[in-house]
Amino acid sequence: MKDKLVLIDGNSLAFRAFYALPLLSNHAGIHTNAVYGFTLLLEKILKDENPTHFLVAFDAGKTTFRHSTFGDYKGGRQKTPPELSEQFPLIRKLIEAYHIKHYELENYEADDIIGTLAREATENRMETIIITGDRDLTQLVNDYVSVYYTKKGVTDIDRYTPDFVKEKYGFGPEKIIDLKGLMGDKSDNIPGVPGVGEKTAVKLLLEYGTLEEVIGHLDDIKAKKLNENLTNHQADALMSKKLATIEVHAPVDIGLQDVKLEDAANDKKIELFKALEFKQLLDQMETAPVVQQQELIIADSIDELDLSGATAVFIDCFKDNYLVNEVLPLAMTDGEKTAVVTAEEIKNHAQLTAYLADADKKKYVFDAKKNVVLMKRLGIDMQGIDFDVMLASYLLDPSRTIVDVAETAGLHGMILPSNEQIFGKGAKMAIPEETELKDYFGRQVQAIYQLTDKMKDELRQNEQLKLHDELELPLSLVLAGMEYQGITVDRNALIEMQDELKTRIDELMATIYGLAGHEFNINSPKQLGVILFEELKLPAAKKTKTGYSTAVDVLEGLRDKHEIIPAILDYRQLAKLQSTYVEGLQKMIDEDGKIHTRFNQVLAQTGRLSSVEPNLQNIPIRLDEGRKIRKAFTASEPGWVIFAADYSQIELRVLAHITEDKSMMDAFNHGIDIHTKTAMEVFDVDNNAVDANMRRQAKAVNFGIVYGISDYGLSQSLGISRPAAARFIEDYLESFPNVKQYMDDVIQQAKRDGYVSTLLNRRRYIPDINARNFNARGFAERTAMNTPIQGSAADIIKLAMVNYAREIRKTDFKAKLLLQVHDELIFEVPEEEIEAFSLFVKDMMENAMELNVPLLVESNYGASWYEAK
């Protein structure tokens, strides 16, 4: 069979389909007309054209390179109606179900992606069909490429071939851009020449050939008004031509071989069609059994539910912060009937509260941590959580952005309204009326129930069920306790710092204004750039997208050039401390005198935790100035202290373990400083020949290994050239042959399996590992190398936390775990416990996992986090 490529302009056809069909929707209120139209089109194309290659291109983002030519490009366009924009994710899902590739590229429009692929196809003499609702694309027509233009609806089509274009206009497709240059395009807000429409433009082009030649022959054009308009708007016309010209060399990192059409299995389609309720299409297909969302039966009372076995439970609150915001009703289902009860009703229902606190009764949830915290707030100690759909989704693929139940359910062919659809967003967020809310909560809990078995199976297949059951789920309960507990922060200590900082910042401001000659906003990189690089004429080293860069490394390079620079650097440092920490933290202190951060367990791609509102994982430590912030973090009771225990070099120990590199293992087994050891190996010298500089460089390389930085990154951190940094890495890998071997193996593994794994079987998919784009691939390779190291370190500390929480209950220790900062745990402890507790924690952490090098934990304590160093 001869190769045939089909390229679809996704955005333009989605619009066409949307406006061509009535506003259909499924039972859950999701609009489906654009998706339906798109489906009809795909079916028709596949049947009529039998393509071997297929791509749907989408516009990316709001601005493109064309906006830099003409700021008002596409100005005055109506906003995409929400009924349509909510269908775009479904259209993408649809395309994926057909195993058709889709692609979008920042700064470019779908047109340019299509143009680029069409050019490549033409160079390979491959027949190409472009399908669009936008006449612009006709400029791409040639002997190999035809453009199908949807006239009305989506299946009524004009076929533009070179002959068709010639017949229509009298000239070939190459002149379409000249035509646009003259007549403009109202829909894209391309100006063209006033008074020139299609008729005049065609006439001019037939007479003179191109736009440039029309301009060259202005003297020959006698019509007074036309001549005047052409003369006055030459520049507009040329710019309009440029705007209308499709880029056929867009930097796409896909090629023809990437868009081969694979056979689509029907079940994905059926699953989606069922969810969308495309009954006619389903009737035409051989239906195979798939999970279909059950009908929602809302019981009148919770008493109608069968509480003898497992249930799915869903409780939520208004907005994100479940530690403080209003608790919303609880939904529960036994798999048949679903009930929704208010927070007040829960508390007063003895049988229900007993059920929720019964460890022997299994519950399936979405976000165990949130459930447990909200229950705690209602005075219920929730027990028996058996499965967390949200954690499962993260473990199956951490790159999934977890938004709400709807998002996760959508991945399994169940479609329900999103949180945003029900509650709105931003300032307009509101709790909907009772029936709508009940219905929504009911649907969500039902989805959780149905997803549980399915996702358990998926985890089992990946050998990740244990990771869920024994690590992430128990950890989420530990984290719930930590968040609820909070850490005491001394407001007065912060206020004192604030006053002190204010004085110093004011002084610096005065100095800076004096040196600049006038006042300006130092916090504005834009204004600062003007002062430094225009008014003071300092040499600008780097530019950002929007102007001069004023980042630290740039300013450091200018330190000796002008007195203002050190003042600005000092100002920056203090202003950051003041706004983010001293003032920022004060705002977060609750009535209990504590700060309650929330840990995000399903975000970081490597398996680490993150912390929000506030982020307590980036409290300053490097410079003493900032480190003093930690003085405000204290124990909650007199006689108690802050105790901090951190893993020493956990990532490099993991690396030694995974690679079994002899000299690295040797260093850890004999307590030799790892950076010194690295320097010895890389520079091939004895222990006592390693000077401070060599150690510093070795440390930077180790840092690079741990974080997966590039030669560029290393060159930046060491202040050396890029080739020198590359050579450094090479020397390193030669000195540690097993590490080199590991790096090669792990990249192969990623190529073979599509993912890499940690010691506890956490996965990260690396789709770009085979990318043709050099940067994307380089990034993917470093990700592949680094994730098992950083992710395994995350596994270890998480395991230590789970073990700690389980074991501490068997003791009399009163100590409380408060925070986790990637490789360290922060506790508050009664002073008299310290000695014993320290040993206990050390034992938990060092023996969390047995590696072939020892894990080493160092700890300290004091009146505040500052003293626990």
Partner DNA sequence: GACTGCACGC
Partner DNA sequence: GACGTACGTGCAGTCC
Residues that bind DNA (CB under 7 A): 61-62, 251, 425-428, 521, 523-527, 544-547, 549-552, 555, 572-573, 576-577, 579-580, 583-584, 587, 600, 603-606, 610-615, 617-623, 626-627, 707-710, 712-713, 773-775, 778-779, 782-783, 786, 821-824
Backbone angles phi, psi at 132, to 5 degrees: -155, 165
Q: Which lies closer to DNA via its Cβ, residue 28 or residue 750? A: 750
Q: Which lies closer to DNA via its Cβ, residue 401 or residue 688? A: 401
Instruction: Indicate the DSSP class of residue 226.
Output: H
Residue 104 CB, nearest distance to DNA (Å)? 14
End-to-end alpha-carbon separation of the chain, Å?
A: 71
Residue 607 CB, nearest distance to DNA (Å)? 10
Q: Which lies closer to DNA via its Cβ, residue 182 or residue 799? A: 799
Token couple for 151: 């006239």
Rg of the Cα atoms in the chain? 32
Distance CA 503, CA 490 (A): 21
Q: Which lies closer to DNA via its Cβ, residue 342 or residue 573? A: 573
Distance CA 509, CA 91 (A): 54
Q: How far is CA 598 from CA 180, 380, 614, 825, in A?
A: 55, 20, 8, 15
Residue 432 CB, nearest distance to DNA (Å)? 18
Contact 827, 643 (CB under 8 A): yes
Backbone angles phi, psi at 161, to 5 degrees: -115, 170
The distance from CA 822 to its chain's CA centroid, rounded to whole angstroms, is 20
Backbone angles phi, psi at 431, to 5 degrees: -80, 125
Residue 350 CB, nearest distance to DNA (Å)? 39
Contact 845, 660 (CB under 8 A): no
The sign one gets for the Cα dihedral 101, 107, 112, 117 is negative
Q: Which lies closer to DNA via its Cβ, residue 628 or residue 816? A: 628
Residue 575 CB, nearest distance to DNA (Å)? 7
Residue whose C-alpha is closest to residue 133's, from 117, 114, 119, 152: 152
Local structure of 817: helix, strand or coil: strand
10 Å CB burial of residue 125 (0-12, 13-18, 19+) is exposed
Q: Which lies closer to DNA via its Cβ, residue 78 or residue 688? A: 78
Q: Which lies closer to DNA via its Cβ, residue 337 or residue 762? A: 762
Question: Which contacts (CB < 8 Å, 24+ apart) does range 538-543 have?
Answer: 538/562, 538/565
Residue 320 CB, nearest distance to DNA (Å)? 10
Contact 548, 574 (CB under 8 A): no
Q: Which lies closer to DNA via its Cβ, residue 52 or residue 600? A: 600
Q: Which lies closer to DNA via its Cβ, residue 21 or residue 505? A: 505
Residue 806 CB, nearest distance to DNA (Å)? 24
Residue 437 CB, nearest distance to DNA (Å)? 21
Residue 566 CB, nearest distance to DNA (Å)? 13
The distance from CA 122 to its chain's CA centroid, rounded to whole angstroms, is 36
Distance CA 582, CA 504 (A): 14
Q: Which lies closer to DNA via its Cβ, residue 787 or residue 838? A: 787
Residue 68 CB, nearest distance to DNA (Å)? 12
Residue 529 CB, nearest distance to DNA (Å)? 7
Residue whose C-alpha is closest to residue 445's, from 344, 602, 311, 320: 311
Distance CA 225, CA 91 (A): 48
Distance CA 410, CA 416 (A): 8
Contact 828, 815 (CB under 8 A): yes
Backbone angles phi, psi at 53, to 5 degrees: -130, 145
Residue whose entry in the numeric block shows the structure tokens 């001069």: 548
Q: Which lies closer to DNA via its Cβ, residue 196 or residue 522? A: 522
Residue 471 CB, nearest distance to DNA (Å)? 19
Q: How far is CA 60 from CA 92, 102, 105, 113, 678, in A?
A: 13, 12, 6, 11, 45
Residue 482 CB, nearest distance to DNA (Å)? 16
Residue 181 CB, nearest distance to DNA (Å)? 25
Residue whose C-alpha is closest to residue 102's, from 60, 158, 140: 60
209: left (phi over 0), alpha (psi -120 to 50) or beta: left
Q: Which lies closer to DNA via its Cβ, residue 284 or residue 618? A: 618
Residue 763 CB, nearest distance to DNA (Å)? 14
Contact 387, 452 (CB under 8 A): yes
Residue 824 CB, nearest distance to DNA (Å)? 7
H or E stretch including 377? helix 368-377
Q: Which lies closer to DNA via its Cβ, residue 129 or residue 766? A: 766
Q: Which lies closer to DNA via its Cβ, residue 139 or residue 606? A: 606
Q: Which lies closer to DNA via its Cβ, residue 343 or residue 612? A: 612
Distance CA 590, CA 483 (A): 12
With a CB cutoff of 8 Å and minimum separation 6, the contacts of 16 are 37, 133, 150, 153, 154
Residue 405 CB, nearest distance to DNA (Å)? 20
Token couple for 689: 């020949």
Residue whose C-alpha is closest to residue 370's, from 358, 352, 356, 388: 388
Report the 10 Å Cβ neighbour count for 202.
18
Q: Which amino acid is at 858?
A: E
Q: Which lies closer to DNA via its Cβ, residue 389 or residue 577? A: 577
Q: Which lies closer to DNA via its Cβ, residue 51 or residue 708? A: 708
Residue whose C-alpha is closest to residue 649's, from 667, 662, 661, 622: 667
Q: Which lies closer to DNA via its Cβ, residue 155 or residue 580? A: 580
Residue 769 CB, nearest distance to DNA (Å)? 14
Contact 848, 803 (CB under 8 A): yes
Contact 150, 13 (CB under 8 A): yes
